[in-house]
Amino acid sequence: MKLDMNKNEFKSFLLHAPQDKVLKYIENIHPVDILDIVRENKDDIKDILNRLPEDFIAGIIDEAETEEKYEILTCFSENKQKNIVEEMSSDELTDLLGILDEEQANKILAHMTADEARKVRRLLSYDPDTAAGIMATEFISIKENMTVEQTLKYLQDTAEDIENIYDLFVIDNFDKLKGVVSLKDLVTNKFDALISEIINPNVVSIPCEMDQEEVGHLFEKYGYLTMPVVDNFNRLLGVVTVDDVMQILRDENTEDIHRLGGVADGEKISGTTMESVKSRLPWLIVNLVTAILASSVVGMFEGTIEKVVSLATFMPIVSGMGGNAGTQTLTIIVRGLALGELSYKNVKRVLFKELGIGFITGAAIGIIISVLGFLWEKNITFGIVIGIAMILNMIVATVTGFLIPLILKKCKVDPALASAVFVTTFTDVCGFLFFLGLATMFVKYLV
């Protein structure tokens, strides 16, 4: 059944169409499409959701942002909540329980069977930012001594309860991971073939304590749709799917962008004024302190500036260009660290590369600003002073943009969080120091 409707028509259809037509239509609709309708029509959320089957509502909750999950779940009676929770995947349920207080979490756990509650409590015991914290425990595992026919029958009996089936993981009697069999391998082999004959033993697994960002890089590297999570004894604990990883990478990228801008991770456009103020004000105060530090350097050369007033005109250019160059290097290095592209093996090569970039770009900008300085002041010394200051500051900018993220990472501080403040401070202070210091040394040629 296919209907061509805009969002308003779709909302009206969900609210007023006969129940059998709604149920028939949503068979081929992704839950996120209805989630969009729900988000835009808060007043009708209960009326819309109460017309949907419980397994579909569980799918909507799975697609919702973490803070939305509980809001949607509490639209229903306790009995219906119990049925919805039973339909939810373990990883999404763990995300939901992780943001609730103990009383709220216990209410939801009380709706679950003892076995399911035990599984979720075990997931909650893991660090939420690790592979074990994001994995799902709903997966299909098989034994080596099974035949293809037995495996296909097993899939028919159990596949309905599994969200995604891309690969089947083979385990021994102690739950140790032995290998993987793809669905393609199953359907292209004879019924009497043993799993041991078609198994791929070279399966790439994820250690349970691996950081979720590194898990994302593994998916990027190998292009898999599903990867198994194992403990220190290589026992299969769960699986991570590519849809979870896409969300993680998006959240990590958003977090890095916020931190580079000095904004708290959780700030959103829909947030309140005071939430945004609390997020931004601390970093603005830090920037104020660094600005005062840079100004104090300028204050040391007040006498020189009084003699050559044009220095004040060109000071922001030297510091600003240094800041831009430092930010360019900083962006590349922070991203390289996040993606694992920068390591101890290539750190020297990258450093010398950045030094070269700093010198070449500094020389190019220095020559341009030297000519402009000469034309402005009609003084060759002035042009040379600002040109040399620009070259030196651009080199300092690239070096600090390279070193500061590495130092912060070594100190176990997120490079995206504090690097920009330090790089800006260095480029401002050094820019003023180089320019005004050189001007002071050659002031008699400038007056």
Q: What does the pLDDT look like over 25-60, one tens digit per residue?
A: 888 888 888 888 888 888 888 888 888 988 889 888
How high is the pLDDT of residue 284? 77
Per-residue b/e over 327-366, b at no fewer than 16 CB within 10 Å? Answer: bbbbbbbbbbbbeeebeeeeeeebbeebeebbbebbeebb
Q: Could you tell me the domains of the chain? A: 7-127 (1.25.60.10), 141-241 (3.10.580.10), 273-446 (1.10.357.20)
Q: What is the mean pLDDT of residues 288-302?
A: 87
Q: What is the mean pLDDT of residues 355-371?
A: 94
How high is the pLDDT of residue 112? 80
How high is the pLDDT of residue 371? 95
How high is the pLDDT of residue 359? 93
Nearest partner of 367 among 389, 345, 340, 337, judged by Cα: 389
User: Residue 264 in contact with residue 238, Cβ under 8 Å?
Assistant: no
> Does residue 212 surpass a pLDDT of 60?
yes
pLDDT grade, residue 267 (50/70/90)? low
Average pLDDT, the chain: 85
Question: In whole angstroms, what is the distance from residue 180 CA to residue 141 CA?
Answer: 9
- First vs last Cα of the chain: how many Å apart? 85
Q: What is the mean pLDDT of residues 141-149?
A: 91
pLDDT grade, residue 1 (50/70/90)? very low
> Does residue 339 surpass a pLDDT of 80?
no
How high is the pLDDT of residue 255? 65
Q: Which two tokens stand for residue 21?
A: 């037509």
Highest-confidence range of 104-108, 210-214, 333-337, 388-392, by mean pLDDT?
388-392
Q: Which two tokens stand for residue 356?
A: 């070269």
Q: What is the mean pLDDT of residues 275-293?
A: 78
pLDDT grade, residue 272 (50/70/90)? confident
- Cβ neighbours of residue 24 closer than 8 Å, sequence gap 6 or more: 1
Q: What is the mean pLDDT of residues 399-415?
A: 86
Residue 338 vs residue 11, higher pLDDT: 11
Which residue pairs from 177-186 have beta carbons closer than 8 angstroms and sit at least 24 positions apart in sequence?
177/203, 177/205, 177/228, 177/230, 177/234, 177/235, 177/236, 178/144, 179/203, 180/228, 181/142, 181/151, 186/148, 186/151, 186/152, 186/155
> Does residue 343 surpass a pLDDT of 90?
no
Q: What is the mean pLDDT of residues 390-414?
A: 89
Q: What is the mean pLDDT of residues 185-202?
A: 91
Percent of the chain with pLDDT over 70: 93
pLDDT grade, residue 208 (50/70/90)? very high
pLDDT digits (tens, 9 = 90+) for 72-89: 888 888 888 888 888 887
pLDDT digits (tens, 9 = 90+) for 316-326: 999 999 989 99
Per-residue b/e over 23-56, b at no fewer than 16 CB within 10 Å? Answer: eebbeebebeebbebbeebeeeeeebbeebebeb
How high is the pLDDT of residue 234? 94
Q: Which two tokens stand for residue 51?
A: 């017309």
Question: In whole angstroms, what is the distance from residue 36 CA to residue 49 CA?
Answer: 12
- Cβ neighbours of residue 238 closer than 8 Å, sequence gap 6 or more: 90, 91, 132, 135, 136, 137, 139, 228, 229
Residue 119 vs residue 186, higher pLDDT: 186
pLDDT digits (tens, 9 = 90+) for 91-137: 778 878 887 888 888 888 887 878 888 888 888 888 888 999 888 88
> Does residue 159 surpass a pLDDT of 70?
no
Q: Which stretch of DSSP H or E encloses residue 385?
A: helix 380-410
Triad 328, 334, 338: Cα angle to 5°: 145
> Does residue 150 surpass a pLDDT of 90?
yes
Q: What is the mean pLDDT of residues 392-399?
A: 94
How high is the pLDDT of residue 162? 65
pLDDT grade, residue 20 (50/70/90)? confident
CA distances from 346 to 107, 340, 341, 359, 396 (A): 52, 11, 9, 20, 21
How high is the pLDDT of residue 274? 80
Triad 101, 107, 111: Cα angle to 5°: 140
Q: Which two tokens stand for residue 326?
A: 């430092």
pLDDT digits (tens, 9 = 90+) for 297-306: 899 998 999 8
Q: Which stretch of DSSP H or E encloses residue 336?
A: helix 310-339
Question: In whole angstroms, what is the distance from residue 187 CA to residue 133 CA?
Answer: 33
- How many Cα atoms sit within 13 Å of 409 on the Cβ side? 18
pLDDT grade, residue 437 (50/70/90)? very high
> Does residue 231 surpass a pLDDT of 80?
yes
